[in-house]
A = this chain, B = another copy of it.
């Protein structure tokens, strides 16, 4: 039974940082969904000794080794050869694959060169994994003690297609039992990782239950996973509702929806329209709202008012307000949200004005000070926030706070 897998990625471009390896994450994702544990991911250059080293390490850690790269026709494509050596077997030409390669070149009018036949050589007793999108097929071969080695093309689209069409169905068949995993993701607002850890202390972590956090500022997600346990589904349901109770309003969503998608669905459902007046966020909130397909139904207009003149001219902020309270103030924020709502003729106006930095701060209003205001037909409100960190972080944090407040206003 396959329980643990090791993923190998090969290619000089991966270890010089020229290319970000997405293959290993894509494979890890698919295998995790099947309930496999990924013991390790190893990335190495196109080098004989390193590949042998990685194969040994894979063999030591997992029952399934799944690798990518180095199957092409050129001199640095060493994989099949090195694996045959590692297994102590011969390379054997697969005539079906050789014929296919020749026909493919002919049909595309490409000149045939003998080195292409290299792609038809596989370690003896391999099962071929067809590559519908490219020339180099992959293979699957037993490496003893019930362990299996799978090798796929390193080209991401080809790899994913081969994985889905061939490898996943094979793993499912091998693991006769149900994969035995339940998991869900909570999206979190207004807590740090360590807050979250503290609040979740009462959740008993056993070898069946795992909680993991993912923080990509300003996003914070929590994942609950319950594995291979007899009463798994009911335990999973109990833990899920316990987490919901513990975190309460800090949970703004479950699953993979973004905050801007959640806000968009609420606006759609309530048949409300939105306009934005952004100062320090410079269009970033508008970008988040509009990257959701179909947002034009509820989103009408944003004014990015980076100067005082534009706040006056296009939002109707009073010069006296700017003079007396400053551009970063409750009063200006409210006039901005009301102004954009009336001028755009929408149900809701949301405004943001603050100091993103690195300059522009003062003792009273340090960098990171932001006022957000929401105007509706019969009421307006404003709140002050203080964000830490550099410009980009203030911008992102502000956008999250604004969208989150908008979400709670819509509920």
Contact = CB atoms under 8 A, between A and B. Distances in A.
Interface of A: 12-22, 24-32, 38-46, 50, 53-54, 57, 61, 72-76, 108, 110-111, 113, 115-116, 133, 155, 157, 192-198, 205, 210, 212-217, 223, 276, 278, 281-287, 289-291, 293-296, 299-307, 309-310, 313-314, 343-345, 357-359, 386, 388-393, 395
B293 A391 contact: yes
A43 B19 contact: no
Contact of A304 (B17, B72, B108, B301): B301
Contacts of A28: 14-17
Chain A contact surface mostly: mixed
A303 B314 contact: yes
Contact of A43 (B12, B24, B133, B358): B24
Contact of A287 (B74, B212, B214, B283): B283
A403 B14 CA distance: 28
Nearest to A12: B212
Contact of A74 (B46, B194, B290, B388): B194
**Chain B CB within 10 A, most for which of A205, A276, A287, A304:** A304
A293 B357 contact: yes
B42 A40 contact: yes
22 contacts: A12-B210, A15-B28, A15-B41, A16-B28, A16-B29, A16-B32, A17-B25, A17-B27, A38-B45, A40-B50, A42-B42, A57-B57, A72-B194, A73-B194, A74-B196, A110-B192, A282-B291, A282-B299, A300-B309, A301-B306, A302-B306, A313-B343
Contacts of A18: 29, 212-214, 223
How many of these chains are in the complex? 2
Contacts of A283: 278, 283-287, 290, 302, 304
Contacts of A391: 291, 293
A31 B16 CA distance: 8
Contacts of A296: 306-307
Contacts of A16: 28-29, 32, 38, 212
Given A303-B303, A310-B344, A74 B193 contact: yes
Contacts of A21: 20-21, 24-25
A304 B282 contact: no
A22 B20 contact: yes
Given A217-B155, A283-B287, A392-B291, A15 B42 contact: no
Given A309-B300, A359-B293, A115 B286 contact: no
